[in-house]
Structure 1
Amino acid sequence: MLFALVAKRVDHRAASSRQVKGALKPPKPRGDTCLLPGTSGAEHFRRHNEALEQTLERNLDGIALSVIHSQWLAEHALKRAGKKLLITFDSDLDLAERHLRRSYVGLDNPAFGQQLGMLVQYLRPQRQTVHSDRQFPGDQPSGADPGHPPTVVWRIDQ
């Protein structure tokens, strides 16, 4: 079987994880192969869409997609997906476009943020203000995807 993993960038942290590196190793005993198409450098939803369009032109058994700008992908490249097996990972399609994929693998970012906020309130009930700052370790913030799961750093004012 032939699969593709379309990350936000080929040098993105999700594309360089140990699990992904294992999937990209030479063909498995069953003959399965995983490709990593895409671009490197700064994230941009149009470049990401182009990489997905090129991937969809191949005769693949399935695609795993890390989403940048869900609506744009749905209105462009994903119109060509047809019955191709598609899952999302790292960041999901928006609710209105989720019918285009089979499954999502990753964190529920809003629920994670709510739980983290409640934990901070529990641990520091005497504090007045909690701030969260988006940070992207080893990554350039793109601003293109409000659903991009950042590392959240909490600063608590006294």
Structure 2
Amino acid sequence: MTHRLIQVTVLVLACHGIALTGQATPGAANTPNATKEQGSIALLAKSVSDLNFVAAWRGCQEYASRRQYQCLLLGPEGSASPRAQLQALDAAVTTHDIDALAVSVTHSALLAHRLKSLSVPVFTFDSPLSAPYQGLSLAYVGMDNRQMGRELGYLARQLHPKGGTLCLMSAENDTNLNLRMAGVREVLNRGWTELARCPWDSGDSVNRALRQLQTTLTQLQPDVFIAVGHWPVLEPHRLQAMLTALETNGASHHTSLLFATGHLSEAQLSLLNEGLVDGYVAVDFYQIGRAVAQQMIAYLAGENPAAPTPVPSRTYTRDRP
């Protein structure tokens, strides 16, 4: 897959009361620049195609614009890739005049060498650096990923109090996803067996995740399937069609389906209400964006901001929508 770095910016034209939203490749003639009165902070996403990171950018921009800053969303398009993110990091610091940077980390070891050389303050959000490299970040802002995994484990335990078989889905290398899997396993450490075929590596791909889920339901048939990311439910109409087709063809399954995700759409909630999905643990990326902007701007103002409070996650079930 070819990855292209894109930038998303919002400029508020106060004199006319107009909000102008634009996307541009670096160096394009219409790329807005910060004025002397306006600084720039940036979010380096795993993928700018991921709506969770777009939501985080909106929260970041909302907070920043009230404090004479603009917030840039930078990163590769398409499926998340550590090497594509490293290229995006190189482009971000060479192309843009950034005062502070927050990174959602794909692969800590791969990014660490480049982060060490940066002259701007670095924060992490959504996905922190792994333990050996955490000193490269001034603070991590986001959800407690291990607790998010525990919440998924609690849901599984409520659905199957006697234990059972488990299949996990993740994506390789991502620190936050590894923490979530650790949280699941911490809760389901007795009476549960992980199937040998799992955990699946979704490759951060909706198509791949749906194929893997179909194999799980038709061949592996665990008691519980847990995706520690939102890949299978990112396009809810496709998941609905797949699950409905299984039932129509007489291949109905007994597997409970649980997902970690960002803000839930009406279509994703409908899957829950229709009984096709058994539960979500969701987090508000807009609030993560606001919180990380607050940390960066406070630091740039010479303040010593308090350690960030984790952005809470919320559990959704049919009994607790």
Sort the TM-score into its range (normalised by shorter chain).
0.7 to 0.9
Q: Point out the more displaced range, 114-123 or 43-52.
A: 114-123
Q: How far does residue 37 in structure 1 lie from its aligned partner after superposition?
A: 1.9
Q: How far does residue 45 in structure 1 lie from its aligned partner after superposition?
A: 0.7
Aligned to 2:47: 9
Call closer, same or farther: CA 1:125–1:144 in 2, change over 3 Å: closer
Unaligned runs of 5+ in 1: 136-141
For residues 144 and 119 of structure 1, what CA distance do their matches in structure 2 show? Answer: 25
Structure 1 letter corresponding to 2:147: A
Q: Point out the more displaced range, 112-121 or 84-93.
A: 112-121
Is 1:110 matched with 2:146?
Answer: yes
Tell whether the 8 Å contact from 1:8 to 1:43 is kept in structure 2 after alignment. yes
Is 1:40 matched with 2:77?
Answer: yes
For residues 68 and 158 of structure 2, what CA distance do their matches in structure 1 show? Answer: 51
For residues 54 and 28 of structure 1, what CA distance do their matches in structure 2 show? Answer: 24
For residues 47 and 111 of structure 2, what CA distance do their matches in structure 1 show? Answer: 15
1:47-83 Cα deviation digits (max 9, x unpaired)? 10111122223432111111110111002x212224x
TM-score (norm 1): 0.74
Structure 1 letter corresponding to 2:74: P
Tell whether the 8 Å contact from 1:56 to 1:80 is kept in structure 2 after alignment. no
Q: Quick one: which of 134, 137, 140 aligns to 2:169?
A: 134
For residues 67 and 3 of structure 1, what CA distance do their matches in structure 2 show? Answer: 17
Aligned to 1:88: 124
Whichever of the two has the greater Rg, that structure is 2
Percent of pairs identical after alignment? 30
Structure 2 letter corresponding to 1:56: V
Structure 2 letter corresponding to 1:85: P
TM-score (norm 2): 0.40
Is 1:151 matched with 2:229?
Answer: yes
Residue 149 of structure 2 aligns to a residue whose secondary structure is helix
How many correspondences in the alignment?
A: 145
Tell whether the 8 Å contact from 1:4 to 1:35 is kept in structure 2 after alignment. yes
For residues 69 and 32 of structure 1, what CA distance do their matches in structure 2 show? Answer: 29
